[in-house]
Amino acid sequence: MIFRLSAAVVALVAFPASVSAAGKAGEVVRTFCIDCHGAAVRKGGLDLEALDVARPESAADRWEAVVRKLHHRQMPPPGEARPSEEAYRAAVAELTGALDRAAAAAPDPGRTDTLRRLNRTEYENAIRDLLALEVDATALLPQDEPSLGFDNVTLGTLSPSLLDRQLDAARKVARLALGAPSRVPGSDTYRTKPDLTQEAHVPGLPLGTRGGMLIRHHFPRDGEYEIQLRLARDRNEHVEGLRRAHDLEVLLDRERVAAFTVRPPGADKNHEAVDAHLKARITVRAGTRDLGVTFLRNPGVLIETEREPTVSRFNMHRHPRTVPALYQVTVNGPLESRGPGETSSRRKILGPTAAFAPGGRVLTPAEEETRAREILTPLVRQAYRRPVGAEDIERPLRFFREGRKSGGPEAGLEEALAAILVSPRFLFRVESDASGTPAGSVREVTELELASRLSFFLWSSLPDEPLLRAAERGELRTPEGRRTEVARMLKDSRARNLVTNFGAQWLHLRGLETVTPDLRLFIDFDDNLRQAMRKETELFLEDVLLGDRSVLELISAEHTFLNERLARHYGVPHVFGSHFRRVSFADDPQRQRGGLLRHGSLLTVTSYATRTSPVVRGHWVLANLIGSPPPPPPPTVPALDAKRISEKLPIRARLDAHRADPACASCHVHMDPVGFALENFDAVGRWRVFEGGEGVDALGGLPGVGEFSGVAALELALLKRPELFTATLVEKLLIFALGRPLDHRDAPAIRAVVNKAAGENHRFSALILAIIESTPFRFRRTPP
């Protein structure tokens, strides 16, 4: 099938000066063949003279590259004669129309890996849903290396060292889930962040308290446990801020189980004795519980200083504590075990009675095996994400029989459970092609494969029983059946994964944990502010995405979520308390807060420790919101030369000098103007009008839009062409959903998703449904 392009489109692609120059269709696009770093090349061997303009589908990869350049108005480059906006739109529409028709005639969904290992987040969520057990996978498994911005891409291998960690994790999880006795009491230590200020209320702890920490701890068995506390010390090993007596409480599920008083050391100045008595032995029922340690809040004292006192207090020199703080909590036990108890995990595995033998009666060996089979069958079904047969149950049953010989039926069940958790059928998502399938052919994924794709996309976890049953009944074969399941899944609390997992990686929120601005310049930055920044963005994403609003509100919103700590940082009055609440700025003519571009989290993570970075910010916006990231600089391009370019110059003047290098200019001309538009925000996201005694210059720009000034104008520029932002979000969602890189074959599907969502006001659920109905999500290609 041949799809011909009009002469007008050919003329625009070869645009030298005027769209009317249709006769120059054979001219190479000189603007497209100029490398980003200034060298005149044919990019990747691309020569548009060699392309058959009558059959764009014959070189779809290269024509898709042309479309992307035209769509982002990057052809021709700034400073050269440009066609009208109407000419751009007409050319892009005709090119994409030809490419989309060719794709519809011969769909190519791309190929996901046959085997994809569960990453750390998926493993943690799978254990939660399979065994009703909360575990911290970061303590069990090594970090997954991200690719293309996400840590669920290219996970096809299981190295020997990772296999060892998986074996250890499986044994530990099985033991915790069943509450199996240990030969020695366990010990877990939790430490506060070193830059945590503990002079205000901690969310989740009772009002009238301050500082401390709230821990989700799993107590494996009924029994007695020892809770041991240690206070924060300065570099001289003196307890910080201890000038008078202070009361502490230990809380279990918000009920007080122990109380202490700490006092300053006596004449001997023995600070080791100050908290030596902070030990309590408490009786606890097995299960995952909220363990809180906090101080009773004393009446505040006004500190008189020449300057406004800092909010952050965690360092003896720059941020001295005025009151003592908690350093760590250690939980030892069980010291006296009284049985496994009736935990949620035992009820999930063993049934409502949480007992292997109902009624406590003694079972014969045959009855024990029958009972084990009864217990294991639903677990194996959910773990393997499919119906199971006798051979699937036989393997864990063999481990059950071996374990029963030495420790009874529950010990056997622990071995069987560990065997399930290290099975490749659990650790890997498998999409295999039937033998005899023609090489390079396209097939629709099976209903069960589609169920796994749905659950790992929306929940980063296993399919639940309703989804598996829908797959078995063939309901996922129909659009209505898929729509029903997606609507149910998006209403489930597990869909918050799209915020905490997808959203955190898309927006680089995870990087906030490692950000520490220069405390000599930003004296009020502490972990409290860091966590408040992240919480603001997560609540905002949840409000827009899971509230099923238009995704364009991520840019245009006139509200955000604040607590007192963050509001004070932003200079927003009348917000008190540690809890977050929705704050509207719709009636504020000088609005400084709202959509993502105004969030402290993103502005901080795209800055350096001492200053803002228009380059990093501009690159972040281009890569994550517009979808046109410049390529990485070649190794020969130098960094800013402090010897040649004074650090005392404003950042705009320094970058002007940097752009004077032709090797740098062609990329920075796109990145820097976007970042300059955000210059009213400093390196920790505070609004500013002056920098170094000079007025802030927020003059920026975007290709195809021109120059503008400030964040509000940047938001309007993005909203002027909403398809760019929506397409970028769709690309990110598709990478996350498929766990593979995208290429030119996915471009028609992305455009179809964007067009469908545009017809429903860009609602998030419309994007999700259109992605799930797309060719890449529902089909796969066999290997060539």
Average pLDDT of the residues in 256-263 = 98
26 exposure class (CB count in 10 Å sphere: 0-12, 13-18, 19+): exposed
| 428-430/115-117 β-pairing | antiparallel
CB 498 within 8 A of CB 589: no
pLDDT band at 23 (very low <50, low <70, confident <90, very high): very low
CB 482 within 8 A of CB 444: no
CA–CA dist 743, 745 (Å, integer): 5
Residue 41, pLDDT score? 36
Position 48 pLDDT exceeds 80: no
Average pLDDT of the residues in 395-415 = 96
Residue 45, pLDDT score? 47
Position 646 pLDDT exceeds 60: no
Residue 318, pLDDT score? 77
Position 701 pLDDT exceeds 80: yes
Beta strand extents in 263-352 (DSSP E only): 279-284, 287-296, 326-337
Q: Report pLDDT digits (tens) over 465-515.
A: 999 999 999 999 999 999 999 999 999 999 999 999 999 999 999 999 999
Q: Give, as one character, the DSSP assignment of residue 545.
A: I
Sign for the pseudo-dihedral over CA of 699, 700, 704, 705:
negative
Residue 119 CB neighbours (<10 A): 23
CB 218 within 8 A of CB 344: no
Residue 370 vs residues 178, 398, 594: alpha-carbon distances, Å:
19, 13, 60
Q: Report pLDDT digits (tens) over 51-60.
A: 777 777 788 9
Residue 481 CB neighbours (<10 A): 16
The residue with tokens 């220069």 is 518
Average pLDDT of the residues in 146-158 = 90
Average pLDDT of the residues in 210-221 = 97
Q: Report pLDDT digits (tens) over 316-367.
A: 877 899 999 999 999 999 999 999 999 999 999 999 999 999 877 889 999 9
The residue with tokens 């090797």 is 663
Residue 32, pLDDT score? 37
Residue 693 CB neighbours (<10 A): 5
In the structure encoding, which two tokens stand for residue 565, read together? 């700590």
Sign for the pseudo-dihedral over CA of 527, 532, 537, 538:
positive
Across 42-56, 233-247, 660-674, least confident range:
42-56
HSE (CB half, 13 Å, CA atoms) of 468? 15
The residue with tokens 């999500």 is 777
Average pLDDT of the residues in 128-133 = 98
CA–CA dist 238, 231 (Å, integer): 10
Instruction: Examine residue 387 and say whether the peptide bond preceding it is cis (omega within 30 degrees of 0).
Output: no
The residue with tokens 């943690």 is 124
pTM of the model: 0.92
Average pLDDT, the chain: 89
Residue 187, pLDDT score? 97
CA dihedral 657→658→661→665, nearest 10 degrees, is -110
DSSP string, 264-289: ---TT--GGGTSTT-EEEEEE-SEEE
